[in-house]
Structure 1
Amino acid sequence: MRHGEARSTTTAAHPEYNALGTSGWSALLAQSLLAFNVESDDPQHFRGYLRNRKIADVDFIEMATGCHVAHRSADTIARDCRPDYVLCLQVAGVGEFHQGSRTAVLQPGDLTVFDATRPATVVSSAEYRNVCIKFPQRLLRLPRSHVDQLTAARISARDGLAPATGALLMTLGHVMEDISGRTRYLAVRNALDLVSTMFESILDVSGDGGKTERNVIPGQIREYIDEHLGDPELSPAAIASAQFISLRKLQGIFQQNGTTVSAWIRTRRLERGRRDLVSSGELSVAAISRRWGFKTPSHFGRAFKDEYGVTPAEFRREASAG
């Protein structure tokens, strides 16, 4: 736990607030979540609780506060600009999340997401409690242009996969201390897979059951690529032929989603390899690279470091250590 000095040892179910003042709360947010400027009616006596646990490059955060307003300005972002998303589950009280032209007003059980690279404002009621996960944008299967359509949008506690996503976030909060490093990592990765699936579901289908105007990569194309990731000869031309469409049309589908066919294949291979580095300890890095279609281990190693900032061996050591 990275911030033990700033919180009580009581459980998240009954958090003990710390008398930090708004300046202390701002400092704790900057250290544990993101930089915000905090305002309240009684800044000297502002109290709050925050708990942060980091697993690989994902932060799992629980917080409880009283009434306040937190602003994340462009100047703040310039100093703190890793491209992350923050998915928030409202646990108690009411939270308002403002970003761009949208506002999400969350009741307990509702979810929303915001982009850490853009200005945002959060307004908290009395007895406010929230669970968040902060994670790099590259970990989602969807391109940023589509997730942008969901930022500061309320995802109802009763809609689609929202109940399952909320329940999983709460469960992780309860069991995180009791499971090992590898298991914790896999649990968080599965949670992000569920988040991706929830977002895809929202973007794919409108409220009346019809297709929206948003463009997404068709499921049959995604499935074909995933089924053939291990083939080092997988190429845009092979995919277009298998799907009975022209190469130009295939490329256009991916361009509409802000990516290319080759970039999508590379990302999916790296995601699978990344998971195997944690879950398949008996496999060497070379074997994992072959399993997912990289022609040489050095090609896998270079691509992995470019994407994640560490070598496959370094990542495996860090994940095993928790």
Structure 2
Amino acid sequence: MVTVVDTAALDAGDRRPGRVADLLEATMSSRIRFRDPTAPPRVRLDGWELGGISVMRLDLTGDVALLRTARHARADPEPVVSLTVQEVGTARQEQFDARRVVTGGQLTATDVSAPYEYRWSGRGVCRALRIPAARLGLPADTVRRAAPGLHAGPLHDLVRAHVLALTRDAGRLSREPQAHAVAAATVDLARALLASAVGPGRPAADVLGETLLTRVRVYVGQHLTEPDLDAERIARAHAVSVRHLYRLFAAAGASLEQEVITRRLAGARAELARAGGRPVAAVARHWGFSDASHFARRFRAEYGTSPSGWREQAALRPDGGP
């Protein structure tokens, strides 16, 4: 993680609205305007790179407008699409002659290669992913056509949760070997989100079919600790049959049931490695194992030691980790 701007760490002179705007403009390639030139804003902007995707979190208190002009857009080396979740506060977005109110928790898509305006007053927090448009493989006008119906689209909640999780864990993920795989899955989700929001038709159906496995795996990850997560529920959430779901995983050389168990065991293993945690039985229940003995057998088969043995080993390591 790189903390790009943090006004709490600046001298008083550098917290002036004009100076803070300059610092933000150097990174965000937008014109930043604070309505009150005398009221110092409170700002923290963090950024990461994850497999060719830019990830950012902006926490800003003030009356601010982010203005992306045609000149800014022309200066970019390649077209970019931004997926943004307004985590805190209410914002107003304008692009392609369309105005919309963005409430807390809502996901929006922005074509960063075209002029736009994004503003709020008071405290606002947003989390965003910036994806090169070429990686999406969609027609150039897709964002313009998808944006009005994005919040009501079938994948809004799934992708919103993914953006929030990704921005929360980006620092750790960017250092891990699977960073590029996570980025590729994110691109698939973005493609499916935009294509489905445009409306029914052959292009949307094709993209949804191509990205089904990715979407199922992301859905599983988001609901991994819920004990009622089973094939029937997963199939229903994706409007496919259980038989189709099993065929999908078999074609990828995988098993749905085994993947769920393996990921639950990995989550439990990571939790057990943290100091001062819950009893083993409580950890097992949290990760979807109703029977502690069954959990212990599966854990030993996977990792060659018991859950309590793994916890003891982890406690002896300086970093408490594997």
TM-score by length of 1: 0.56
Q: Structure 1 stretches of 5 or more lacking a match?
A: 11-17, 206-210, 224-322
Distance 2:8 2:163 in 1: 20
CA shift at 1:9, angstroms?
9.8
Q: What residue is the counterpart of 1:199 in the other structure?
A: 194
Q: 1:150 to 1:218 in 2, by over 3 A?
A: closer
Deviations 1:71-112 (A, max 9, x none): 222233333453111111110101111112111211112111
> Counterpart in 1 of 2:138?
142
C-alpha RMSD of matched pairs (Å): 3.0
Shift of 1:48: 1.2
User: 1:147 offset after TM fit, Å?
Assistant: 2.5
Selected match of 1:184 from 169, 179, 185: 179
- Distance apart, 1:217 and its partner CA: 6.8
Name the CA shift for 1:103/1:173 in 2 (closer, same or farther; >3 Å).
same
Match of 2:203 among 197, 212, 216: 216
Counterpart of 1:52, as a letter, is G
Q: Does the 8 Å CA contact 1:104/1:112 hold for their aligned counterparts?
A: no
Q: Return the letter of the residue paired with 1:113.
A: A
**Change in CA separation of 1:220 and 1:198 when aligned onto 2, cut-off 3 Å:** closer
* C-alpha contact 1:39 1:70 (8 A) present in aligned 2: no
Please list the CA deviations of residues 33-82 of structure 1 after superposition, one character each: whole Å capped at 9, or x if unmatched. Answer: 33223232245512211111012421101001122122222233333453
1:103 paired to 2:99: yes
Structure with larger Rg = 2
Distance 2:158 2:20 in 1: 31
- Residues 101-157 of structure 1, C-alpha deviations (whole Å, 9 max, x = no match): 111211112111111221111111211110011111111132112233134x3632x
In 2, the alpha carbon distance for the partners of 1:195 and 1:19 equals 37
Question: Identity over the aligned pairs, expressed in percent?
Answer: 17
Flag the structure with higher helix content. Answer: 2
Q: 1:272: which partner in 2?
A: none
Q: Deviations over 1:254-280 (max 9, x none)?
A: xxxxxxxxxxxxxxxxxxxxxxxxxxx
Which digits, 9 at most, give the CA deviation of each residue in 1:264-309, with x for residues without a partner? xxxxxxxxxxxxxxxxxxxxxxxxxxxxxxxxxxxxxxxxxxxxxx
Where in structure 2 are the equivalents of 1:1-12 lying within 5 Å?
1-2=1-2, 4=3, 6-7=5-6
Query: Is contact 1:64-1:128 (8 Å) kept?
Result: yes
Q: Is the 8 A contact 1:25 1:38 kept in 2?
A: no
Q: Is the aligned partner of 1:164 residue 2:158?
A: yes
Structure 1 residue 159: deviation in Å? 4.2
Distance 1:220 1:124, change over 3 A: closer
Structure 1 stretches (4+) deviating beyond 4 angstroms?
220-223
Matched letter for residue 193 of structure 1: D
Match of 1:173 in 2: 167
Query: Superposed, which structure 2 residues align to 1:249-260 within 5 Å?
Result: none
8 Å CA contact 1:104–1:154 kept in 2: the answer is no
Amino acid at match of 2:168: H
Inter-partner Cα distance in structure 2 for 1:26 and 1:54: 23
Q: TM-score, normalised by structure 2?
A: 0.56
- SS in structure 1 opposite 2:177? helix
> Aligned pair 1:60/2:55, yes or no?
yes
The CA distance in 1 between the partners of 2:136 and 2:197, in whole Å, is: 14
> Do 2:149 and 2:198's aligned partners in 1 also have CA atoms closer than 8 Å?
no
Q: In structure 1, what is the Cα distance between the partners aligned to 2:14 and 2:86?
A: 22
Deviation at 1:193, TM superposition (A): 0.9
Q: How far is the alpha carbon of 1:24 from its aligned partner?
A: 3.4
Are the equivalent residues in 2 in contact too, given 1:50–1:62 (CA < 8 A)?
Answer: yes
**Inter-CA distance 140–99: structure 2 relative to 1 (3 Å threshold):** same
